[in-house]
Structure 1
Amino acid sequence: MFERLILMIFSILGLLNGSLFALIMRKKNFFRYTFGGFLIGLASAGYFVWYAKGYDGLGLWSLWLGYLFCGLMVSQIVLFPPYIILSFFTIPKKWKRPVQKISLLVLLGALFIGIYGAIDGNRREVTEYINVYVENLPEAFDGYKAAQLTDTHIGPYFRYSDLPHEFDRAKAEGAQVVFFTGDLIDDVRHMPQTAEILSEKYDDFADGIIYVWGNHEYYRGQAYIHGFLKKTPVRILENEHMKITRNGDSLYVAGVDYPWVRGERSAAFQRQRKDMTEWAFEGIPQDAKVILLAHNSSFIDEGFARGAILTLTGHTHGTQFGLFGKPIITPFKFTRGLYTDGIHPGYVSRGSASWFPFRFSCPRELVIITLHRKQGMSRLPIAASDS
């Protein structure tokens, strides 16, 4: 069903863009350009659907071809709004030539954004460093380092063979634990190999790998994925918590499931989110220092309410598109980067990968967190940062 929808949407979008291009450029062979646009849309979406199922065993050429066609898919989305507007400006004859030149520049710009974003978005990853200053943090955790991985979406564009590199980078940064905040895998054919990698890399970190569920695990077969993860030493937190102990001092990690009530602004969703957090925090001493892990970024509000020293989330991918490092349009309250209520920080990772390789001004990231002991009140400016 999803594949048919993708094919239909981009075939129609290609047809419309071809028609608008012919209209703007006053081409006599109107139907030829319309049909050409349709074929481009169908071919790009068709390769995307085919490659997702048949990439195993193919050479590197197939991946680069995947970037090209994904770039063409994005280009068609970028082209459509300005072409709609430009088509109206070609009506006065005196505007025809300037508008046609602008339309060609728009076409080149859309192709650049799409193809560059598909290549750069999948191949470049940055490291983001977060320093968290905590009042009366137990001395044993002063300087404690953790890494956050999230949204790897193992499949055609981020393969299971890419996963060890992520853990190696975290180890090289001195992380003592890895927090994995969901959406591990889409192509569950490779869950056995993925589980082996998690088992092999677990001992690279003094406090192991701690995991919470994302929404894609449920899409792809949560019970199946759970069965393999249970064979590994990875600790899964399902609306519960665990304790990390060092020299008699304790740091608690609470983890929540993915809420499925529709409408994140609905009372029912907020009630489910609150219930999950209450279950995860149940039994934690009142004055304990707690890190909250969640996939859905709206749990940052729960972290603020509960006084978590840090809330780590993913899910949004930072929208994968922006300008100057900022998202342009977002349906999320917490989209990317660091947020705070004035004292407690929450972080939304842009993700370690994605199921669609395109990213523009929103690179993939590995997050390295360092905890610092701070005596007295350490108040942060109240802000919602999408950086």
Structure 2
Amino acid sequence: MFWVTLVFLAALLFIFVPAVLACLVYQKIPVDKNKRRFLHGLTLYPAALAGASCYGYYYERKQQVKHYYDVKFPQAAEAAGLTIAQISDVHLGKFFSVEDLRQLLKLVAVDKPDILAVTGDLFDDVQLNPAAVQVLDEAVDLFPKGIYFCIGNHETYRNWGRTAKLLAKTRVHVLVGRAQQVPGTRLWLAGAEYSFSRDDESFLLEKASLTQKAVQAIPQAELGQTVLLAHHPEYIDNGAQLGIPLTLTGHTHGGQVGFFGLPLIPMYKYNRGWVEIGDSRGYVHCGNGSWLPLRVGCPPEIAYFRLTE
């Protein structure tokens, strides 16, 4: 309940108070009973904000919505019919338990995807990460072609070295700066590392370098048979530059708070859903966990991509 109160107070400070001041400054409010009705109406805003906060905390953040897409993959005809499921940004911890992760993986498997792609920020709690690694390994049997994981920024914050050693003992395919061909197919999955560069120029250079590193084992002629996994959504640009038909990303949480399918505060170049660049497509996943423990107009999602000719 502490977090609900905190979010409500923040919304009150940054939305309600400025709205009242703006109305008083910019609108001519008659000094009569109409003014009283107007001000009385403003008292509804705190109630609405409190309601939205409670809804986002107790309900929407816990409702995993499923989305299904067809993606053309003309250069990998034998991969046609394969389905890749994607989860991202689970943020294991106080608001997403190991048991929640177990149930999420079972929910993903209900639709029988061939592959599960996890695009970072799953292992976000030093104490819980070892148990989560075990749960992820146990879930490999639910996905016939395996589970493929790429790193996010939060894994780095939470002792990635230890988690990497634990994952190395599992059947999970850890794609950190490397690529792997899916057994029995010509389909490649590549995982790019996260760029921590601060300024724009360094960020562009580093993510280009990290993308090249991720795909270096893939023959040039087979980049058109590749799915790039990357945590930051701007790697979609790099995937398109290389002719990779599909790039799956996360990181943004879809904005966490949205309105009619759009983020209320767009913080990134690509914030949510599909991005098309030439013949390449990228997807920005809304995430399964939260920065703050609530979501409004942006429910957590499980995305399914069926490859077609």
**TM-score over 0.5 for the alignment?**
yes
Cα deviation, residue 219, structure 1? 1.9
Cα-to-partner distance string for 1:298-355 (whole Å, 9 max, x where unaligned): 0000111111121000000000112111123312111100111131110000001213
Kindly provide the amino acid, as one letter, of the partner of residue 166 in structure 1: L
Q: Residue in 2 aligned with 1:350?
A: 286
Q: Residue in 1 aligned with 2:83?
A: 145
8 Å CA contact 1:90–1:96 kept in 2: the answer is no
What TM-score do you get using the length of structure 2 for normalisation? 0.91
- Partner of 2:76, secondary structure, is coil
Q: Residue in 2 aligned with 1:81?
A: 18
User: 1 CA distance for matches of 2:15 and 2:129?
Assistant: 35
Cα deviation, residue 84, structure 1? 3.3
Q: Residue in 2 aligned with 1:172?
A: 110
Structure 2 vs 1, CA of residues 260 and 130 (structure 1 numbering), >3 Å: closer, same or farther? Answer: same
Alignment root-mean-square deviation, CA: 2.0
Greater per-residue helix proportion: 1
- Partner of 1:188, secondary structure, is coil
Q: Is 1:183 aligned to 2:117, yes or no?
A: no
Q: Residue in 2 aligned with 1:285?
A: 219
Cα deviation, residue 80, structure 1? 3.4
Structure number with greater CO (CA < 8 Å, separation at least 6) is 2
User: 2 CA distance for matches of 1:272 and 1:123?
Assistant: 36
Q: Which residue of the other structure, out of 367, 370, 378, is the alignment partner of 2:306?
A: 370
Cα-to-partner distance string for 1:8-36 (whole Å, 9 max, x where unaligned): xxxxxxxxxxxxxxxxxxxxxxxxxxxxx
Larger radius of gyration: 1
Q: Which residue of the other structure, out of 94, 106, 125, is the alignment partner of 2:64?
A: 125
Cα-to-partner distance string for 1:156-188 (whole Å, 9 max, x where unaligned): 211110111221122211111111100013222
Q: Residue in 2 aligned with 1:116?
A: 55
8 Å CA contact 2:145–2:183 kept in 1: the answer is no
Unaligned runs of 5+ in 2: none
8 Å CA contact 2:73–2:80 kept in 1: the answer is no
User: 1 CA distance for matches of 2:291 and 2:130?
Assistant: 19
Q: Residue in 2 aligned with 1:244?
A: 182
Q: Is 1:159 aligned to 2:97, yes or no?
A: yes
8 Å CA contact 2:240–2:278 kept in 1: the answer is no
Cα-to-partner distance string for 1:341-377 (whole Å, 9 max, x where unaligned): 131110000001213222111110001110011xxxx
Q: Is 1:213 aligned to 2:151, yes or no?
A: yes
User: 1 CA distance for matches of 2:291 and 2:124?
Assistant: 8
- Partner of 2:186, secondary structure, is strand
Cα deviation, residue 226, structure 1? 2.1
How many residues end up aligned between the 2 structures? 304
Unaligned runs of 5+ in 1: 1-64, 374-387
Alignment of 1:1-387 (within 5 A): 65=1, 68-69=4-5, 71-73=7-9, 75-76=11-12, 77-86=14-23, 88=25, 93-94=31-32, 96-139=35-78, 141-246=79-184, 249-263=185-199, 266-288=200-222, 289-373=225-309
